[in-house]
């Protein structure tokens, strides 16, 4: 059975307080999970049953997140790009995070293996 995991990638080139960063990661996780559940309920359930494995990585630009988002969408792997509402620390529409999966870990790793842990 394939390892099922979720990867969250946070931008490291913008200044976010710890609370803001945690909120953006939570948005990415939940939004991406909901996409995965729509695509394959069994994979989503397996992920929940196995403890919801998450890996948090960092990206150094908005462009890097957007390119990765498009690559995952092209491969039909559930993902979600997070844009901030701009109510506190960031300008409205600032892209802050990308949630990927839960999905087959090997498929996610093909695109994320060069990113470093946050």
Count of other CB atoms within 10 angstroms of residue 72: 26
Q: What local confidence, expressed as pLDDT, does residue 90 receive?
A: 87
Beta bridge partners of residue 111, listed in sequence order: none
Task: Look over the chain and give the mean of its residue pLDDT values, rounded to a whole number.
Answer: 95
Average of per-residue pLDDT across 8-33: 96
The share of the chain scoring above pLDDT 90, in percent, equals 90
Confidence (pTM):
0.94
- Which three-class secondary structure state does DSSP give residue 65? helix
Q: What local confidence, expressed as pLDDT, does residue 1 receive?
A: 67
Q: What local confidence, expressed as pLDDT, does residue 85 receive?
A: 85
As a whole number of Å, the CA-based R_g of the chain is 14
Provide the residue range defining the domain that includes 26. Answer: 4-117
| Contact in structure between 78 and 101 (CB atoms under 8 Å) | yes
Q: What local confidence, expressed as pLDDT, does residue 76 receive?
A: 97
Q: How many domains does the chain have?
A: 1
Q: For residue range 23-75, what is the model confidence (pLDDT) as tens digits?
A: 999 999 999 999 999 999 999 999 999 999 999 999 999 999 999 999 999 99
Indicate which CATH number applies to the domain containing 84: 3.40.1490.10
């Amino acid at each position: 059975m394939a390892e099922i995991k979720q990867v969250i990638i946070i931008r490291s080139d913008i200044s976010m307080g710890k609370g803001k960063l945690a909120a953006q990661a939570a948005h990415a996780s939940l939004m991406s999970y909901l996409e995965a559940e729509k695509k394959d309920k069994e994979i989503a359930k397996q992920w929940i049953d196995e403890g919801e494995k998450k890996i948090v990585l960092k990206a150094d630009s908005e462009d890097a997140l957007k390119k990765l988002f498009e690559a995952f969408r092209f491969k039909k792997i559930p993902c979600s790009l997070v844009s901030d509402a701009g109510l506190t620390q960031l300008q409205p529409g600032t892209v802050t995070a990308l949630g990927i999966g839960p999905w087959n870990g090997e498929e996610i790793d093909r695109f994320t293996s060069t990113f470093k842990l946050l």
